[in-house]
Amino acid sequence: MGFEKFGRVSFTAQTKVGNFVDYLEKGELAGTKCPKCGRKYFPPRADCSWCPDSTVAWIKIEGTGKLVSFTRVHYGPTGFEDDVPYTLALADFNGVKVFGRLSKDLDEGQTKVGMEVKAVTAFLPGGQLSYELVPV
Amino acid sequence: MSRDVAIVGVGQSTFFRNYEGSIRELAFEAFREAIKDAGITPADVGASIICSAPEYDKQRSPSGLMAEYLGLNPQPTFAIETVCSSSTTGIRVGYSLIKAGLHDVVVVLGFQKMSEISSADSQERMGRGADIMWESPFGTMMPAYYAMHARAHFNRYGSTEKDLALIRIKAAKYGQLNDKAVYRKGLELDQVLSAEAVASPLKRFDCCANADGSSCIILASAERAKEISQKPVWIMGLGAATASLTMTGREALDGLNSARLASKQAYEMAGVGPADIDVAEVHDCFTIAELMAYENLGFADPGKGVELIREGETYLEGKIPVNVDGGLLSKGHPIGATGGSQVRTIVLQLRGEAGAMQVPDPEIGLVHNIGGVGIYANVIILGR
């Protein structure tokens, strides 16, 4: 339990990487790293499929990332209708990619592929937690 | 070139916004046409493979129902699912059943009645088509994923919204010739470019419509095919590959790697290359998907796909006619039925039975059918 706190709408409560929300609460974006092969995972995984091994450790996704792509969404799926428009984006943090929403404050015209962003915790209504990408 | 398994019968229902019948009756429309086309009876069929995306089905385990309704008891039946590419995955499995010698005639039946559930329920299920732990909680949807691919392609190669509009205009032209298509109106450039945004840079006409529909492909061993059919169409090559469901696991978003790998396998197996393809059906669930397909299939070098559409080379008269039946953009996209519909189009083309959509004397055709945003990719090369 615990993972149901993640996201605007949560679809699942149980996962071995539920501690992700505890890190979010502290303002940290966490991934995992396999101690055997050194691969870093974001989103975090409880298991390294490469080794295969299940003794991963938490790491922080820090610094700035570059926008790989983005889209301004005008029709939301069920549960997100009131959020539109919002921007979904993919950013590359030195080889570790992060998918999420871009800050609402950013105008679409100012948003460019390649721009630098950082990830910050988003405290949502109803005690839900997420992260969003904001321009540096 | 492989000549071990042939397609001996094809059928497709009309695609509808809202089919006024049950899923069994919808499936029967394609089955009836395919069985008549093959000139066989249900008793000649060794096994059936039923393809649909089950989240739209109220009937649990529809394969059993379909086998009964289509007159295919007591032969074995089972379900195959890879969302939008389910029925070409079904063909891959059917091919292997015949090659293995387990059966000599196999029916691959694809269907989807997307109107079976309410629009709100359908939207809710579509939201869960992404990784439900890490992406769905942000409010993801299919157009958004393809839109992110479009933006990445624009950014890397200088392709534009107008290039995508040209693809839709081509689809609309041929949709008017296809009496089984949902969307049968022509479109002008201004209309396409000024339509409301769905997920930028994709707008209304960059997206295909949901539909209800069915398709049926009947496969036979070489020996049976020669007995049954005057015009067997041979499966020369098959390719299938996957890519990560989550966007974070992808190298880049300006193409679909699964499609690149699947086409490479299919070309190798068939012993042909992109220049040998006379007619193609590609998975244009969105306009950007067709543009990426030009490049991922090797019809154009990476970044050069726009030249094909700008110069009209993918029209019926062009160098490589693509989706001259209107594609998913005009036909509509009944998930489980789509791949079989694409295969049917190519079979009719190779037999010279495509009517107003007929490409002059094609010998080799290709089908590119994608599941999700390139999570699954199937490429099939067919020859006379």
Tens digits of per-residue pLDDT, B367-377?
999 999 999 99
Q: Does B201 touch chain A if contact means CB atoms closer than 8 Å?
A: yes
Cross-chain CB nearest to B139 (options A69, A80, A97): A80
Are A4 and A18 in contact by the 8 Å Cβ rule? The answer is no
- Report d(CA B141, CA B132) in Å as an integer: 12
Nearest CA in chain A to B128: A11
Contact call for B155 and A69, based on CB within 8 A: yes
Give how far A86 is from chain B: nearest CA, Å. Answer: 9
Strand order in the sheet with A30-33: A40-41, A30-33, A57-60
In terms of CATH architecture, what is B133-206+234-383? 3-Layer(aba) Sandwich (3.40)
- Chain A residue numbers with beta carbons less than 8 Å from the beta carbon of B148 are 69-71, 88-90
Tell me the mean pLDDT in the region B154-173.
98
Nearest CA in chain B to A4: B133
Strand order in the sheet with B5-12: B77-80, B47-51, B105-113, B212-221, B5-12, B233-242, B376-383, B364-371, B279-281
- Report d(CA B337, CA B323) in Å as an integer: 16
Task: Name the active-site residue from B84, B208, B216, B285.
Answer: B84
B75 token code pair: 């032969």
Tell me the mean pLDDT in the region B56-74.
96
Place of tokens 């699912």: B81
- Chain A residue numbers with beta carbons less than 8 Å from the beta carbon of B250 are 97
> How much is the pLDDT for A1?
60
Domain ranges of chain B: 5-119+211-233, 133-206+234-383
- Report d(CA B43, CA B35) in Å as an integer: 11
Which tens digits make up the pLDDT trace of B297-317?
999 999 999 999 999 999 999
- Chain B residue numbers with beta carbons less than 8 Å from the beta carbon of A80 are 127, 139
Contact call for A11 and B137, based on CB within 8 A: yes
Question: For testing the chain A interface, which of B118, B134, B288 should be mutated: the one with the most A CBs within 10 Å?
Answer: B134
Instruction: State residue B281 phi and psi, 5-degree precision.
Output: -115, 120
Radius of gyration of chain A (CA): 15
Cross-chain CB nearest to B147 (options A71, A99, A108): A71
> How much is the pLDDT for B120?
75
> How much is the pLDDT for B1?
59
> How much is the pLDDT for B283?
98
Give how far B372 is from chain A: nearest CA, Å. Answer: 16
> How much is the pLDDT for B117?
85
B271 token code pair: 């012993």
Q: Does B272 touch chain A if contact means CB atoms closer than 8 Å?
A: no
* Paired sense of beta strands A96-102 and A86-93, if any: antiparallel
A5 token code pair: 């706190």
Residues 6+ apart with CB under 8 A from B66: B24, B27, B48, B50, B72, B77, B109, B111
- Report d(CA B9, CA A4) in Å as an integer: 50
Which tens digits make up the pLDDT trace of B86-137?
999 999 999 999 999 999 999 999 999 998 888 777 777 877 888 999 999 9
Contact call for A69 and B120, based on CB within 8 A: no
DSSP B226-253: HHH-SS-EEEEEEEEEE--SSGGG-S-S
Closest CA to B30 of B90, B102, B118: B90
Q: Averaging pLDDT over each range in A70-84, A104-118, B174-188, which range is the top one?
A: B174-188
- Chain B residue numbers with beta carbons less than 8 Å from the beta carbon of A110 are none
Nearest CA in chain B to A128: B137
Cross-chain CB nearest to A69 (options B126, B131, B152): B152
Task: Name the active-site residue from B103, B149, B333, B368.
Answer: B333
Cross-chain CB nearest to B136 (options A11, A83, A130): A11
ipTM over 0.85: yes
> How much is the pLDDT for A47?
98
Which tens digits make up the pLDDT trace of A81-104?
899 999 999 999 999 999 999 998
How distant is the alpha carbon of residue B329 from its chain centre?
Answer: 11
> How much is the pLDDT for B364?
98
- Chain B residue numbers with beta carbons less than 8 Å from the beta carbon of A77 are 123-124, 126-127, 139-141
> How much is the pLDDT for B148?
98
> How much is the pLDDT for B355?
97
Which tens digits make up the pLDDT trace of A45-67?
999 999 999 999 999 999 999 99
**pTM (predicted TM-score):** 0.97
DSSP state, A87? Answer: E
> How much is the pLDDT for B118?
80
How distant is the alpha carbon of residue A19 from its chain centre?
Answer: 14
Nearest CA in chain A to B196: A74
Q: How confident is the model at residue B247 (pLDDT cuts 50, 70, 90)?
A: very high
Are B39 and B232 in contact by the 8 Å Cβ rule? The answer is no
Nearest CA in chain A to B147: A71
- Report d(CA A10, CA A3) in Å as an integer: 8
> Is the pLDDT reported for residue B318 higher than 90?
yes
Are B381 and B364 in contact by the 8 Å Cβ rule? The answer is yes
Contact call for B247 and A99, based on CB within 8 A: yes
Q: Is B216 a catalytic residue?
A: no
Which tens digits make up the pLDDT trace of A103-121?
988 888 999 999 999 999 9
DSSP state, B85? Answer: T
CATH no., domain B5-119+211-233: 3.40.47.10
> Is the pLDDT reported for residue B276 higher than 90?
yes
Amino acid, single-letter form, for residue A61? I
Tell me the mean pLDDT in the region B69-85.
98
Inter-chain contacts counted by CB atoms under 8 A, chains A and B: 115
To 5 degrees, how large is the angle CA B58–CA B59–CA B61?
130
Which tens digits make up the pLDDT trace of A10-30?
889 999 999 999 999 999 999
> How much is the pLDDT for B138?
95
- Chain A residue numbers with beta carbons less than 8 Å from the beta carbon of B131 are 43
- Report d(CA A57, CA A45) in Å as an integer: 10
Tell me the mean pLDDT in the region B319-343.
98
How distant is the alpha carbon of residue B24 from its chain centre?
Answer: 21
Closest CA to B50 of B33, B32, B29, B31: B31
B189 token code pair: 């450039």
DSSP A13-37: ---TTTTHHHHHHTT--EEEE-TTT
Tell me the mean pLDDT in the region B2-6.
89
- Chain B residue numbers with beta carbons less than 8 Å from the beta carbon of A3 are 133
Cross-chain CB nearest to A15 (options B133, B143, B248): B133
DSSP B122-155: HHHHHHTTS-TTTTGGG---HHHHHHHHHHHHHH
Q: Is B333 a catalytic residue?
A: yes
Contact call for A90 and B148, based on CB within 8 A: yes
